[in-house]
Structure 1
Amino acid sequence: MLETGSPVPDIVLEDTDGQAVRLSDYQGNHAVLIYFMRSMSCPVCNRHVHDLIRRRDELAADNVRVLVAVPEDRHAAAEWKARRQIPFPVLTGRRGTPHEMIGLSRKVFGSLQQSGTILLDPDGIIRHAHGATMPTNAYDRKAITAAVQALGTRA
Structure 2
Amino acid sequence: MLTPGSSAPAIELEDTAGQAWRLSDHLRPRSALVYFMRSTSCPICNRHVRDLVARRDEFAADNVGVYIAVPEDRDRALAWKTKHGIPFPVLVGSDRTPHESIGLTRTVFGSMQQSGSILVDPDGIIRHVHGATLPTSSYDKKGILAAIDSMRSGTRS
TM-score normalised over the length of structure 1: 0.97
Aligned to 1:110: 110
What is the number of residues matched between the two proteins?
153
1:125 & 1:42 partners in 2: Cα distance?
30
1:7 & 1:142 partners in 2: Cα distance?
22
Give the AA of the match of 1:14: E
Deviations 1:6-51 (A, max 9, x none): 1111111000000000000022220010000000000000000000
2:114 & 2:129 partners in 1: Cα distance?
13
CA RMSD of aligned residues (A): 0.9
Aligned residue for 2:88, secondary structure, equals coil
Aligned to 1:26: 26
Aligned to 2:53: 53
Tell me by how many angstroms 1:114 deviates: 0.1
Runs of 4+ in 1 over 2 A off after TM superposition: none
2:27 & 2:10 partners in 1: Cα distance?
11
1:30 & 1:95 partners in 2: Cα distance?
27
Query: What are the ranges of 5 or more consecutive residues in structure 2 without an aligned counterpart?
Result: none
1:32 & 1:76 partners in 2: Cα distance?
23
1:133 & 1:91 partners in 2: Cα distance?
20
1:53 & 1:27 partners in 2: Cα distance?
20
- Percent of aligned pairs with the same amino acid: 63
Aligned to 2:120: 120
Aligned residue for 2:10, secondary structure, equals coil
Tell me by how many angstroms 1:57 deviates: 0.2
Aligned to 1:138: 138
Aligned to 2:69: 69
TM-score normalised over the length of structure 2: 0.95
